[in-house]
Structure 1
Amino acid sequence: MPAIDRGVRRAARTRFAMVALGGLGALAIITLSLHRYGLSTLSVDLAAIRGWTAGDGLYDYQAPGGETRAALSPALALLLAPLAVLPLPAAGSLLALASVAALVLASVVLAGPIARRYGHRRAMVVLTIAALAMLTSPVRATLGLGRTDLLLFGLVVADLVALRRAAWTRSRATWWPARRASRTLPDRSLRHRLRRVWATGAWAGAGTGLATALAAAPVLFIGYLLLTRQRRAALTALATAATVTLGMLLLAPDETLTWYGTALWELDRAAPISTPDNQSLAGVLARLYGFSAPPVLVWFSFGVLVLAVGLIRARSAHADGDEIAAFTLVALTCAVAGPVTGQAETVWLIPAVLILADTATRRRLSARLPRSARFAGAGFAVAALLGYGLLVAGPLWAYGWNATALALIVLVNALPWRYGSAPAIPELRPAKKPAAIPVPRGG
């Protein structure tokens, strides 16, 4: 027993030391990012919010010495309003800490099933993935510029938890009918109802709806939910987004009407579309043609094609049980087809690299796959290494060659998904009809 106690204490000290080192490393990255980027986006947003509270219009503010204007929704402005009373470094630090917390929680959702599949400790795998993600350029830019992309990322990823719980509930009702047919009196207390809502995943779509109300880009996830016939989650997302929007319409009618009527459609409000930081298809086309904006017909044609390919592949990934890959494909499609995709908005490349690495490991360790398939796993491993190298590399090298835009387009068309990787027990499907011509055994 004493030897066992010493081993337990040694393991606890090791975990505490690793968590402490991880926290110090996160603080160092936050400090360097704040110094490198100078919270330029947050400074414009907070200045616009201060002018709004003083009686001016939220979208009337313009940064001195430039053409940068506030490009945040009224709901997001209301969320950031408490930071406007703080000094800029303090506000940026608080927003960065909240973003890091969202990144760690998202890492639990994305990397937890992978750790469980390979028999590793979830905490160590999650901390490792989060530490590697902290080194990437999208995370550094989000923290340094003072953007909320990691918070939106966490909200969308939270719906993955709800969808998993909903799938588990449906599966359990299928293989455990006695539980479903129970005649015991239900507990109608508020605490029990809230616990049931959490356990059954009935809140699926709330995170996506809130993210859609804060920023327009996540609306594509609602379209994906409708496409994959996850109607309850889609309706929850629509109801959440509509509730927040109507609430802002009552609180700030002028700003809400201005945002949805004018400011949202000013694509060059924060920066010109042709800027090298814009790694969307529109930015690439604008730079290729040498214009400040892309040719509308060319952009629309290729954008619709990319949108169709991305949503079709996301639906296939959902049908094969890989909801993480489906969400990643939707986000990458939005990044390619959208008008503006800055450095901070490519954060969904991180789960894409994680999917590539997991696919390579699965093919390498699977004994049932033929040698050619395991050889293809080496290609996925190389792609994961190159993708992570691209994320860690500085924006000057990646953006100068449009490397990030090219990676986004390639991943939309070639990102693999893992068959049956969902942790929930699959639902029992009706048996297939017997073939008209029986196949001999062993055929």
Structure 2
Amino acid sequence: MIATAATVLLFTTVNPRMPYTGLFMGGADLDVYRDGARHVMAGLPLYTEPVIHGLLYTYTPFSTLMFLPFGLLPGEIDKYIWMGVNVVLLAAIVALCWRMLGYRLGGHAVAVSTLLTCSFAFLEPVRTTLFYGQINLVLMALVLWDAYRDEHSRLKGIGVGIAAGIKLTPAYFVLYYLALRQWRAAAVATVTIAATIGVSWAVLPRDSWQYWTETFFDSTRIADEGHAANQSLRGALTRIIGEPTPTWLWLLLAAIIIAVSLWVVARLHRGGETLLAVTIAGFTASVVSPFSWSHHWVWFVPLLVWTVHRALTNAWWWLGTVALFGVAGSWAYQFPGRLVVGLYLFPPTWIPWDVLVNLYVLAYSAILAGAAVIARRLPRDRAP
């Protein structure tokens, strides 16, 4: 019933064919990925001039090598193919979360995963990922696959390294492995990241030099840091202060958040809550990143799988599940002349703007606090 309701909401709150907003009318980021790869293949500069739609390419040189297969997708229907791939990947992520929680993937688990996939498609970060043709689900799948592997696996760390090679934010999980004292995984991830830089530098020396000496340090290429869709600590501070956040203040608060989060993550992992631990790390990576679009917050997916898991033995957890779903849902609001999707973009009619526009950052604060309480109550010597 919940899956049916979520699917109906997904296709009725916003007409999927509505220009600029409808689910089937997007694909702009997919176009950028493909056009960036085509720039490289044609020998054109990647960072010093706009790509398609007048947008600037902001990802690593290695990402363009990974996006080369995108050029093989047939025109006109490429965004639908990529959307379908993302939906299948979402189902695989849900199934992987169940495995991390200790469930066997029998017919019942597959059916539940399918229903949850339909439900999670209504989450604003997931819908926005599907709408733009983004890669956040791919990156999260790589990280979760990495975290799921046995601690002594020689491959553990490669998933994080490849994800960070494509998009820098997953590099945060090197700290995650260090906090868990998984030294080999941290080393493998670091070496893999270095390898992605080395390979792209060998293939694309000019673009690599431009990126790592200039583009990497220019966060303004993405958008104004006070943009409402920048659901990061720095974005929230900028909106609250009313001017660009001093770097020292952002770094200080980010360091405090990282320290608290890593303590919580380490306690959760030692207490056997591996899925919750990696999920908290994923949220933290989005919070402390200088710029985090709302679609970076796909970590609501594993968190909701975890709360459903807890609700199976304690019905009170359904309240938390519903609350999370409400916060992260693709709720739409019609302004005169435009329509927005996501509660953080709603007008401040009954919630102050400073609260509403920073919704995901505030939700993270509550999630981290709740995880800290759970971590303190867990025995320290349970095997993950």
TM-score of the superposed pair, with normalisation by structure 1 = 0.71
Name the aligned partner's letter for residue 84 of structure 1. Answer: G
Q: Do the aligned partners of 1:51 and 1:61 also contact (CA within 8 Å) in 2? A: no
Q: Is the 8 A contact 1:112 1:122 kept in 2?
A: no
Partner of 1:39: 27
* 1:134 aligns with one of 121, 125, 141: 121
Q: Is the 8 A contact 1:63 1:69 kept in 2?
A: yes
Q: What's 1:373 paired with? A: none
1:203 maps onto 2:164 in alignment: no
5 Å-filtered alignment, 1:413-428, equals 413-415=369-371, 416=374, 426=383
CA contact (8 A) 2:165 2:197 kept: yes
TM-score by length of 2: 0.81
Structure-1 separation of matches of 2:65 and 2:314: 47
Give 1:269 deviation, angstroms. 1.3
Question: Unaligned regions of 5+ residues in structure 1, if any?
Answer: 1-20, 168-200, 365-377, 428-443
Match among 317, 329, 338 for residue 392 of structure 1: 329
Which residue of 2 is the match for residue 53 of structure 1?
41
Indicate the SS of the match to 1:341.
coil
Once residues 200 and 134 of structure 2 are traced to their aligned partners in structure 1, the CA distance between those partners, rounded to angstroms, is: 21
Cα distance in 1, alignment partners of residues 82 and 299 from structure 2: 19
Which letter maps to 1:122? A
Q: Are 1:81 and 2:68 matched, yes or no?
A: yes
Tell me whether 1:233 sits opposite 2:220 in the alignment: no
SS at match of 1:238: helix
Does 1:332 pair with 2:269? no
* Contact map agreement 2:329 2:343 (CA 8 A) in 1: no
How far has the Cα of 1:102 moved from its partner?
2.2
Is contact 1:273–1:282 with CA below 8 Å preserved after alignment? yes
- CA deviation after TM superposition for structure 1 residue 362, in Å: 3.2
Q: 1:162 maps to what in 2?
A: 149
Shift of 1:37: 5.3
- CA drift of 1:86 comes to 4.7
* C-alpha deviation, 1:357, in angstroms: 3.3
Conservation of the 8 A alpha-carbon contact between 1:329 and 1:412: yes
| Aligned counterpart, 1:278 | 230
Tell me how large the CA RMSD over aligned residues is.
3.2
Matches of 1:64 and 1:233, distance apart in 2? 38
The runs of 5 or more residues in structure 2 that have no matched partner are 332-340, 347-355
Alignment of 1:395-410 (within 5 A): 395-400=341-346, 401=356, 402-410=358-366
Rounded Cα–Cα distance in structure 2 between residues aligned with 1:351 and 1:343:
16
Which residue in 1 is equivalent to 2:133?
146
Per-residue CA deviation, residues 113-144 of structure 1 (Å, 9 max, x unaligned), is 55838998221222122222122111111111
Percentage identity across paired residues of the two chains: 23
Q: Distance in 2 between matches of 1:85 and 1:117?
A: 37
User: Among residues 286, 292, 306, which one is paired with 2:257 in the alignment?
Assistant: 306
Q: How does 1:312-327 map to 2 (within 5 A)?
A: 312-327=263-278
Alignment of 1:362-373 (within 5 A): 362-364=313-315
Larger Cα-atom Rg: 1
What are the residue-to-residue correspondences of 1:95-110 with 2, within 5 Å?
95-110=82-97
Residues 1:252 and 2:204 are matched in the alignment: yes
How many aligned positions are there? 350
